[in-house]
């Protein structure tokens, strides 16, 4: 495998071998850490968003239940007072003072009063601005409902409003109590004299003979619920609203009224799908498309996209045995929390780039620290091969490379010493060979001279052997060999 890779990619520079793996590992690690940071941040945001929605809906539900308990406490107290004979239905001025004191005690309610089968109607109301007003209708007013400001002493003051031909028995809260014959919530209705939506707790009262005498009532202005929702902080731009299962608006944190009054003829309640607020309208439309007429009866968590932005929705039913059946809806834009994630992601990306650049710089410096002495060793080995080594290799601060350089220098010195010895031995051997060659040549020359002398002497002896020494004429031996 390594052979195939070597053949395919050839040899690589040491610096590249040192830098590339380190940079790749660092980049991979930094990228992985960045992704994990982003993922965990997003998971944390989802969890925080879910907690905010849950806590908000729980907070709204708990406060509403406490708020909605007060009217029923009031009508129960009033019914008990009637049953115990504390009320004289013929002494209406005294009952009027009673209701006036009662509404001062119970700061959460908007109206408390009594309506009789004789069309008599008395009560005390707290306006949104704070001052109290008194209601009176019956035979004394020619069955005209009159709304008075209160004097400092508590009696009737300036006449604020009058409604002719008023019959309290036709009011939604009266009919609901008579129909149910128990403590009950009325349908949401519009005030007869003001542009406000109300919901009332009502309870029928009967005489000892069981005959219906009238209805005690205590009501709430839904704008108070709207103000409570407006005071809630839901993320940065989160919203909440309350609707009935029919889809009709009850209250919203945007300040939008749950009814419209297009002309002087009257007002009508609006559905959430017709809200002027985009988030309320889109959420209600999504719920209608998803559930139809059967809106959820258990808590639900949903996600939807509004105007291209992802929103998280929490639905919490609010229901009791007295006929209340509302849905609390909390909508939180995901962008309220992902803005910080986006900023953190940008910061993480910048830090990752800085880390990679630093990794490249550090790896380059490290590779240079490692590769330079190795390159020097390689160059020195080549100079040794070329017989041009003139100076030792310098050792840097790396211990192992220092040991290697020291060993290399020692080996280089030994090689140089061996080379010098070889050169001296070679020169000595060459001189010895030359001297020996000269001696051999002299010996050969001397031998040749001797051989020539011997050859000449032999020839001379042969001549003397066949010649007479005195006469220098061939002797008998010469003729014997010839013959």
Q: Dump pLDDT digits (tens) for 114-135.
A: 999 999 999 999 887 767 888 8
Q: Model-level pTM greater than 0.85?
A: no
374 — pLDDT class (breaks 50, 70, 90): confident
Residue 353 pLDDT > 60:
yes
Dihedral sign, CA of 125, 131, 132, 137? negative
Q: Where does the pLDDT of residue 9 fall: very low under 50, low under 70, confident under 90, or very high at 90 and above? A: very low
Q: Which residue has the higher pLDDT, 295 or 97?
A: 97
**Pick from 185, 231, 277: nearest CA to 59:** 231
- Given this model, what pLDDT does residue 140 score? 84
Do residues 226 and 198 touch, judged by C-beta distance below 8 A?
Answer: no
Residue 143 has pLDDT above 50, yes or no: yes
pLDDT at position 115: 93
- Residues β-bridged to residue 159: 148
Evaluate if residue 201 carries a pLDDT over 90. Answer: yes
Q: How far apart are CA 238 and CA 460, in angstroms?
A: 146
Pairing of strands 145-150, 197-206: unpaired
Q: What is the DSSP letter of 395?
A: P
- Could you read off the pLDDT of 62-75 as tens digits, one per residue? 999 999 999 999 99
Residue 68, pLDDT score = 93
Nearest-angstrom CA–CA distance, 128 and 220: 11
Residue 474, pLDDT score: 63
Confidence of residue 44 (pLDDT cuts 50, 70, 90): low
45-67: burial string, b at 16+ Cβ within 10 Å, e else: beeebeebbeebbebbbeebeee
Beta-carbon contacts of 138 under 8 Å, excluding residues fewer than 6 positions away, are 92, 116, 118, 119, 120, 121, 122
Asked if pLDDT for residue 473 goes beyond 60, the answer is yes
What was the pLDDT predicted at 64? 92
Q: Does 169 have pLDDT greater than 80?
A: yes
Answer with the residue of higher pLDDT: 444 or 34.
Answer: 444
- What mean pLDDT do residues 395-414 have? 71
Which bin fits 364, alpha (ψ -120 to 50), beta or left (φ > 0)? Answer: alpha
Residue 331, strand partner residues: 239, 313
Nearest to 15 by CA among 358, 366, 394: 366
**Most confidently modeled range among 90-104, 201-215, 417-431:** 201-215
Residue 298 has pLDDT above 90, yes or no: no
pLDDT at 325 over 80: yes
Give residue 199's pLDDT band: very low, low, confident or very high (50, 70, 90): very high
pLDDT (average), residues 468-476: 63
Sequence-distant (6+) residues with CB within 8 A of 63 are 228
Diameter over CA atoms, the chain: 213
Walk across the sheet containing 309-319 and list its strands: 249-252, 239-244, 325-333, 309-319, 300-306
139 φ/ψ angles, rounded to the nearest 5 degrees: -65, -35
**Looking at the predicted structure, is the pLDDT value of residue 206 above 80?**
yes
pLDDT computed for residue 264 by the predictor: 47
- How much is the average pLDDT of 94-103? 90
Is the pLDDT at 267 greater than 60? The verdict is yes
Q: Which residue has the higher pLDDT, 205 or 421?
A: 205
Tell me, what's the pLDDT at 282? 94
Of the candidates 220, 219, 204, 216, the residue with the CA atom closest to the CA atom of residue 115: 216
pLDDT reported for residue 395: 62
Residue 472's pLDDT is: 62
Given a cut of 50, is residue 444 above it in pLDDT? yes
Q: Which residues of 383-414 are buried (b: 16+ CB within 10 A; e: fewer)?
A: ebeeeebeeebebeeeeebeebbeebbeebee
Residue located via tokens 């601060």: 397
Please report the pLDDT score of residue 394 as a whole number.
67
Q: What is the mean pLDDT of residues 348-353?
A: 78
* Residue 5 pLDDT grade (very low, low, confident, very high; cuts 50, 70, 90): very low
Instruction: Pick the closest to residue 191 from 263, 99, 125 (CA basis).
Output: 125
Distance between CA atoms of residues 341 and 16, nearest Å: 37
Report whether pLDDT(52) > 90. Answer: no
DSSP E strands, 266-347: 266-269, 300-306, 309-319, 325-333
Let me know if 483 is exposed, middle or buried by CB neighbors in 10 A (0-12, 13-18, 19+). exposed
Q: What Å distances lie between residue 75 and 86, 125, 173, 323, CA to CA?
A: 14, 15, 12, 16
Domain boundaries, the chain: 63-333
DSSP state of 271: B
Quote the percentage of the chain above a pLDDT of 90: 28
Sign of CA pseudo-dihedral 79, 82, 88, 90: positive
Average pLDDT over residues 436-446: 87
pLDDT of residue 18: 65
Report helix, strand or coil for 97: helix
Q: How confident is the model at residue 419, as a pLDDT? A: 76
Q: What is the pLDDT of residue 274?
A: 92
63-333 classified as CATH 3.30.450.20 = yes
């Amino acid at each position: 495998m390594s052979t195939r890779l070597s053949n395919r990619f050839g040899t690589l520079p040491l610096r590249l071998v040192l830098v590339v793996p380190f940079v790749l590992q660092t980049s991979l690690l930094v990228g992985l850490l960045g992704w994990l940071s982003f993922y965990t941040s997003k998971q944390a945001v989802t969890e925080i968003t879910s907690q905010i929605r849950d806590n908000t809906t729980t907070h709204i539900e708990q406060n509403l239940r406490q708020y909605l308990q007060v009217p029923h406490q009031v009508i129960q107290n009033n019914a008990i007072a009637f049953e115990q004979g504390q009320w004289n239905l013929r002494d209406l001025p005294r009952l009027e003072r009673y209701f006036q004191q009662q509404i001062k005690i119970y700061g959460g309610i908007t109206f408390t009063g009594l309506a009789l089968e004789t069309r008599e109607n008395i009560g005390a109301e707290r306006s949104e601005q704070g001052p109290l007003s008194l209601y009176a209708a019956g035979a004394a007013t020619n069955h005209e409902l009159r709304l008075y400001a209160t004097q400092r002493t508590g009696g009737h003051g300036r006449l604020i409003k009058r409604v002719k031909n008023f019959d309290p028995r036709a009011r939604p809260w009266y009919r609901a109590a008579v129909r149910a014959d128990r403590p009950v919530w009325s349908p949401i209705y519009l005030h007869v004299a003001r542009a406000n939506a109300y919901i009332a707790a009502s309870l029928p009262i009967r005489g000892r003979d069981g005959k219906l005498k009238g209805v005690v009532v205590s009501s709430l202005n839904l704008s108070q619920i709207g103000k409570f929702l407006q005071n809630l902080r839901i993320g940065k731009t989160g919203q909440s609203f309350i609707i009935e299962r029919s889809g009709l608006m009850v209250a919203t944190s945007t300040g939008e009224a749950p009814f419209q009054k297009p002309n002087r003829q009257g007002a009508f309640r609006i559905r959430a799908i017709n809200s002027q607020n985009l988030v309320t309208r889109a959420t209600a439309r999504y719920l209608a498309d998803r559930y139809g007429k059967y809106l959820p009866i258990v808590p639900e968590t949903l996600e939807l996209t509004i105007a291209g932005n992802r929103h998280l929705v929490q639905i919490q039913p609010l229901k009791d045995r007295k006929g209340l059946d509302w849905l609390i809806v909390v909508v939180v834009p995901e962008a309220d929390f992902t803005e910080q994630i986006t900023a953190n992601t940008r910061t993480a990306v910048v830090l990752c780039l800085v880390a990679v650049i630093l990794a490249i710089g550090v790896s380059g410096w490290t590779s240079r620290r490692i590769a330079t002495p190795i390159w020097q060793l390689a160059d020195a080995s080549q100079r040794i091969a070329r017989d041009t080594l003139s100076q030792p290799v310098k050792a840097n601060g790396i211990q192992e490379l220092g040991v290697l350089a020291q060993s290399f220098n020692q080996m280089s010195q030994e090689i140089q010493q061996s080379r010098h010895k070889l050169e001296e031995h070679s020169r000595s051997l060459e001189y010895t060979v030359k001297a020996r060659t000269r001696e051999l040549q002299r010996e050969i020359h001397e031998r040749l001279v001797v051989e020539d002398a011997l050859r000449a002497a032999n020839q001379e002896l042969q001549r003397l052997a066949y010649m007479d020494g005195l006469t220098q004429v061939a002797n008998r031996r010469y003729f014997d060999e010839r013959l």
